[in-house]
Homo-oligomer: A and B are copies of this chain.
Amino acid sequence: MCGTEACLIKCSPVPSAIPETRENVTLINWDTLINLDQGDPVMYESYWRKMGNRCDITFSGYQSLSYFANAKNLCWFLEPKLEEEIKRLHNVVGNAIVDDHYVVVGTGSSQLIQAALYALSPTDQPEPISVVSAAPFYSSYPEVTDFVRSGLYKWAGDARNFEKDGPYIEFITSPNNPDGVTREPVVNGDQGILIHDLAYYWPQYTAITSPAKYDVMLFTVSKCTGHAGSRIGWALVRDKEVARKMTKFMEISTIGVSKEAQLRAAKILGVISDSCLDPTLENFFEYSQSHMTKRWQKLREVVKGSDLFTLQKYPLQYCHFTRDFYESHPAFAWLMCKGSEDDLEKLLKGHKIQTRSGRKFGSDPKCVRISMLSRDEDFNIFLQRLMSIQGLTNGN
């Protein structure tokens, strides 16, 4: 695995590691960093290529000029077709209750996180409300909460260490990012306001044990279908005033959400629902489950018996969608270092694997988060490099 070695692999159209291209093959040099930091869901490209032109959508020049999608709706910039397909997919999958909930669309779930904080924070308090989540927590929560130093809300760290009286906001990310674990509220104070971030509550990642039914639930197209470039997320919100304030946040910050992205997302969600109901189509979730299962098997095989690494374990649970037992296969691997190495991100980067340190999740730098949603080529090189590190540290 020295700097001059290289491997020839099948060409990927936009390789994340930006290697040189030579005709139909791509030359990935061993010096090329494999980026498994962001969780870029390009693994899903293979499914969408197989679907051919079924998801094609064409926009003419005269379409969607207006700011408005439906002036009569509380969320006036939400395309009716997207609302319909969001509700349909939740009903098909059974992962969330949509009745008696308002749908608020956002520019990805990052914007919805801010909208929820804005809508749920008291405006009559002298101090900003504390925002917490149990470590390891999604690394964006502290940054999204604090980046403009809001006087409405303020990041207060690990929910397990939170002991202040009074109101607080707690993010419950389930399955959790980064470690894939199913989560419940941790603080359980009597003035807690809960935001359920359910970005990964889809059958390819975890068993659908029951339909989620919470006050504020966040979802994103990025992790459901793989279309991260569209920047479409949605919230299911029980209370009308909260939904109205979240809509107001979108109005002030971006005057709504791209119509093209919404209409394309509607089309894609529709095809996913169709694929679950029409046996002549390849079921999206079965295809993705199968991919995730294989990747996790390979990764566990590499890590098994390792002196250096260990992986988070998950229980087998009954999935009401597949009507079968399923072990979680999260979108990220939460890899822990058993050895004396204190900085696992640094160790892996030294072997050209870019991951995200546990430190960024309010946790131990002996852990890293690794995207499991890269293209096959990158995933396979990652496994080879991981094997190689173990070989080196085992003295082989």
A residues contacting B by CB (< 8 A) are 14, 16, 18, 38, 40-42, 44-45, 48-49, 51, 53-62, 64-69, 71-72, 107-108, 110-111, 114, 118, 140, 143-144, 147-152, 222, 226-232, 249, 252-261, 264, 268, 271
Contact = CB atoms under 8 A, between A and B. Distances in A.
A64 B258 CA distance: 15
How many copies the complex holds: the figure is 2
A62 B45 contact: yes
Contacts of A255: 108, 110, 228, 231
A107 B61 contact: no
Given A230-B259, A260-B230, A254 B111 contact: yes
Contact of A41 (B61, B65, B118, B229): B65
A148 B144 CA distance: 12
Q: Which of A62, A232, A252 gathers most chain B CB within 10 Å?
A: A62
A254 B228 contact: no
Contacts of A253: 110-111, 114, 144, 147, 253
A332 to B, nearest CB: 15
Of A71, A148, A231, A252, the most chain B CB neighbours within 10 A belong to A148
A72 B148 CA distance: 27
A18 B118 contact: no
Given A150-B151, A231-B255, 14 more contacts: A16-B71, A42-B65, A51-B62, A54-B61, A56-B60, A56-B61, A61-B271, A64-B227, A65-B229, A110-B253, A118-B147, A148-B151, A229-B259, A230-B260
21 contacts: A14-B66, A16-B68, A40-B67, A48-B60, A51-B61, A51-B62, A53-B60, A56-B58, A65-B228, A66-B228, A110-B252, A110-B253, A111-B253, A111-B254, A148-B150, A148-B152, A229-B256, A229-B259, A232-B258, A258-B258, A259-B261
B48 A65 contact: yes
Given A66-B16, A149-B150, A151-B150, A61 B268 contact: yes
Contact of A40 (B66, B114, B143, B261): B66
A86 to B, nearest CB: 17
A68 B371 CA distance: 15
Contacts of A254: 107-108, 110-111, 231, 254
A228 B67 contact: yes
Given A40-B66, A68-B16, A147 B252 contact: yes
B60 A55 contact: yes
Given A258-B258, A261-B260, A57 B55 contact: no
Contacts of A256: 229, 231
B57 A59 contact: yes
Contacts of A260: 229-230, 258, 260-261, 264
A65 B45 contact: yes
Nearest to A106: B254
Contact of A231 (B71, B149, B258): B258
A231 B111 CA distance: 14
A141 B268 CA distance: 36
Contacts of A41: 65
